[in-house]
Amino acid sequence: MRVIISLILVVLIPTLLLLPEKAEEPQGTPIVQGKPLRQKSPALVAQEMAQNKTLDSTNPLASLQALAANTEAVFQPVSQIPLPQTTVSDGSVPFISFDVLGGYPYDIDTSDASMSLAAEIYKAKLDSQIPAQILTYHNQYIEVEGYMIPIDFHDGKVLSFVLVSSPMACCFGMIPRINEWIHILVEKPGVSSLLVDMPLRIRGTLDIGADIQDQAVMSLYRMKAQSVIPSGEKH
């Protein structure tokens, strides 16, 4: 009997030692259909897509739609992304929050009747939804705060991005409403991609109104940034 047990142990122990160890899933990793998701924020996914030229830098709305449709996009837990330190401007320029910019309904009417209108009439119809309070900021030098979703790169620098209110505002299979983001343009050489996933303070001239090309709405808010810095720093 002892001989048999010894033989079993001789065969069994090496076999057990050769079995692959079960990989431990990182704590906090979300699970979808039994599979752990990679830890990537939507901004980092957008950055990769922009670097691969799979986003349309001239059409921010289409870029957001492409990001939302990318089923490979996996998102970093909110707790791992820094939150804005302050939402109070230093008073040197007007500060406008996304609560104000996105605080009203704005419907992009794509009915046949609307799409058949001349571009100027279609734009006027869409822009009639913008409250007078919001229009007072048109062509004004202001400050906004939010997170970068890169859509255009040049020599490793971000030249164009969508600014959203929250790191999780985009894009879990859907995109923010068109008045909940701003298309930001930056002059060359651009801003560092290290600013991705950081709360940012941006100053520039705000352009308000539907940007329509070929009967497609590209954006509602646009800004040519004069200053892009992490929140909490001084301009």
Q: For the chain, how long is the longest CA-to-CA vector?
A: 95
194 in any annotated domain: yes
Q: How far apart are CA 29 and CA 26, in angstroms?
A: 6
Q: Please give the residue range of the domain that contains residue 170.
A: 60-230
Count of C-beta atoms within a 10 Å radius of residue 94: 14
167 vs 217: which has the higher pLDDT: 217
* Per-residue pLDDT tens digits for 142-191: 999 999 988 888 787 899 999 998 877 666 656 789 999 999 999 888 88
42 found inside a domain: no
Do the domain assignments include residue 54?
no
- C-alpha span between 106 and 100 (Å, rounded): 13
The token duo for 128 is 């009639």
Residue 37 inside a domain? The answer is: no
Per the domain annotation, does 16 fall within a domain? no
Residue with tokens 């790169």: 153
Q: Give me the pLDDT at residue 67, please.
A: 75
Q: Which residues of 102-121 are buried (b: 16+ CB within 10 A; e: fewer)?
A: beeebeeeeeeeeeeeeeee
CATH number at residue 122: 2.40.50.870
Q: Give the position of tokens 């929250």.
A: 166
Return the minimum-mean-pLDDT range out of 67-76, 91-100, 120-129: 67-76
Which whole number is the average pLDDT over 128-154?
Answer: 92
Q: Tokens 């996914």 sit at which residue?
A: 45
In a domain, 32, yes or no: no
Check: pTM over 0.85? Answer yes or no: no
Domain count, the chain: 1
Q: Is the pLDDT of residue 37 over 60?
A: no
Whether residue 134 lies inside any domain: the answer is yes
> What pLDDT score does 176 carry?
86
Question: Residue 218 is inside which H or E element, if any?
Answer: strand 216-230
Q: Identify the residue with better confidence: 101 or 49.
A: 101
The answer as to whether 225 is a domain residue is yes
Going by C-beta distance under 8 Å and a sequence separation of 6 or more, which residues neighbour residue 127? 209, 210
